[in-house]
């Protein structure tokens, strides 16, 4: 039986296609993306430059230096992959993993499942270990599995927005290195919202995105690579024919099976060699640079406190409204909160009420949690008191309309009191 292509709502061009682009100003309080910091949007409106303009090459170096501070690392190979956060994950995996390599994926949500999907496409022998959604792994469990499977690479998320959980990482890099494995972490959902110490925690590769706690748009993926991870990739170095220099010698490893996501060629592009790979996404680099600049200028401790304060206030407000929080709260992400949809409340209708009546977006969930919880984000530019209070006020109205029984105004008062404490 042949597959049928999915339907489209209409084959006709919509009459609105020639209208000015003027979307309603939503307050994005879901699991991401969030509203970009206006300073990032202003930076992205700067004039374009050619990718080999000396000004632009300097901006690339500045961006590398800023993200070394964000990742708390001295890694030389700290730069931007052009594409959404998933592009960063895939670029690192397909470049480091050769067919037949063993990869251990530690999955506690949807994005652990993404790791296994990409690793299998790269031809890896993949073993997936799981915990119940709403919990995280212990170091002991991971060490037991690493010893038994002997992987070349271990892949795990720091934060997974699908479950709102934050995985402690302090011991995992040491475990991997004791047993000859490299560690790749995706921190798209957590970077700039909670501590992430690439060097101190011995993490070989971290991939991320701008659209959550870094307060930017989706479309650029910051990455940092340890020397060991970079060497693993660079042994597969093959330069495309059109730009090969004299004396070119290919790497000893198997050619990476993708051109655009060939991280060895991207390293050459960002290096002093400046070997042409793709045309750099100039506007996105401006945005990524500004996201990092804003974070570094505010300071790690201040940013983390701002996210923690917003999370604590939101939790206080939701609890005061008689709502039950999801998961192991000891390991809850400080920037995304899961909350059970109350019995008798139509979750999708309530979300649409917030969107249509208040221009506020909160998230639903995936897999076993679909239709059971909402996910509310307090991150990046939206990790602010006014955003938290406005969201709770809208939810108060919508829940009352749905017949949920609670003390009206209690959530807003509790959140405001949390900020005053």
* pLDDT, position 242: 87
Q: What are phi and psi of 7, to 5 degrees?
A: -75, 155
- Strand 165-166 versus strand 205-207 pairing type: unpaired
* pLDDT, position 10: 66
Q: Which distant-in-sequence residues (6+ apart) come within 8 Å of 190 by Cβ?
A: 158, 159, 166, 196, 212, 213, 333, 335
Give the residue from 251, 245, 223 showing the smallest Cα distance to 79. 223
Q: Using CA atoms, how far apart are residues 60 and 264, in angstroms rounded to an integer? A: 17
- pLDDT by residue for the chain (421 residues), tens digit each? 788 888 877 667 778 888 999 999 999 999 999 999 999 999 999 999 999 999 999 999 999 999 999 999 999 999 999 999 999 999 999 999 999 999 999 999 999 999 999 999 999 999 999 999 999 999 999 999 999 999 999 999 999 999 999 999 999 999 999 999 999 999 999 999 999 999 999 999 999 999 999 999 999 999 999 999 999 999 999 999 988 988 899 999 999 999 999 999 999 999 999 998 999 999 999 999 999 999 999 999 999 999 999 999 999 999 999 999 999 999 999 999 999 999 999 999 999 999 999 999 999 998 899 999 999 999 999 999 999 999 999 999 999 999 999 999 999 999 999 999 8
Q: Using CA atoms, how far apart are residues 254 and 256, in angstroms rounded to an integer? A: 6
Q: Using CA atoms, how far apart are residues 157 and 106, in angstroms rounded to an integer? A: 8
Helices marked H in 180-334 — which ranges? Answer: 227-234, 263-270, 282-298, 300-320
Q: What are phi and psi of 309, to 5 degrees?
A: -65, -45
pTM summary value: 0.96
251, burial (CB in 10 Å: exposed 0-12, middle 13-18, buried 19+): middle
Q: How many CB atoms lie within 10 A of CB 17?
A: 6
Give the residue from 64, 65, 61, 119 showing the smallest Cα distance to 89. 119
* pLDDT, position 284: 98
Q: Using CA atoms, how far apart are residues 205 and 89, in angstroms rounded to an integer? A: 10
- What are the structural domains, with CATH classification, of the chain? 38-296 (3.40.640.10), 300-420 (3.90.1150.10)
């Amino acid at each position: 039986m042949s597959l049928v292509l999915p339907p489209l709502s209409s084959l006709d061009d919509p009459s609105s296609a020639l209208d000015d682009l003027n979307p309603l100003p939503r307050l994005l309080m879901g699991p991401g993306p969030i509203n970009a910091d206006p300073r990032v949007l202003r930076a992205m409106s700067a004039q374009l430059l050619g990718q080999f303009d000396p000004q632009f090459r300097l901006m690339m170096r500045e961006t590398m230096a800023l993200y070394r501070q964000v990742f708390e690392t001295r890694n030389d190979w700290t730069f931007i992959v052009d594409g959404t956060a998933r592009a960063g994950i895939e670029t690192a995996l397909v470049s480091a993993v050769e067919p037949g390599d063993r990869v251990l994926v530690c999955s506690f949500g949807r994005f652990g499942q993404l790791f296994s999907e990409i690793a299998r496409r790269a031809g890896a022998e993949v073993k997936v270990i799981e915990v119940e959604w709403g919990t995280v792994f212990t170091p002991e469990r991971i060490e037991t599995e690493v010893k038994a499977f002997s992987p070349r690479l271990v892949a795990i998320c720091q934060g997974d927005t699908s479950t709102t959980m934050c995985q402690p990482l302090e011991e995992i890099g040491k475990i991997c290195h004791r047993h000859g494995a490299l560690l790749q972490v995706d921190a798209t959902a957590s970077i700039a919202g909670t501590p992430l110490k690439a060097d101190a925690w011995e993490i070989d590769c971290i991939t991320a995105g701008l659209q959550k706690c870094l307060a930017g748009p989706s479309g650029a993926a910051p990455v940092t690579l340890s020397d060991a991870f970079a060497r693993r990739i660079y042994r597969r170095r093959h330069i495309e024919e059109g730009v090969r220099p004299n004396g070119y010698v290919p790497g000893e490893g198997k050619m990476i099976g993708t051109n655009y996501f060939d991280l060895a060629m991207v390293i050459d592009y960002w290096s002093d060699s400046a070997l042409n790979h793709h045309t750099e996404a100039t506007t996105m680099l401006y945005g990524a640079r500004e996201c990092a600049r804003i974070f570094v200028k505010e300071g790690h401790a201040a940013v983390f406190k701002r996210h923690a304060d917003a999370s604590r206030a939101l939790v206080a407000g939701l609890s005061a409204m008689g709502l039950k929080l999801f998961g192991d709260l000891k390991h809850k992400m400080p920037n995304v909160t899961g909350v059970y949809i109350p019995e008798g409340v139509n979750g999708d209708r309530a979300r649409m009420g917030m969107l249509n009546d208040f221009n506020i977006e909160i998230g639903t969930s995936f897999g076993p949690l679909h239709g059971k919880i909402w996910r509310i984000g307090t991150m990046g530019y939206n990790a602010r008191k006014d955003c938290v209070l406005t969201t709770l006020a809208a939810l108060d109205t919508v829940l009352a309309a749905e017949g949920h029984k609670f003390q009206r105004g209690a959530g807003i008062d509790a959140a405001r009191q949390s900020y005053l404490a």
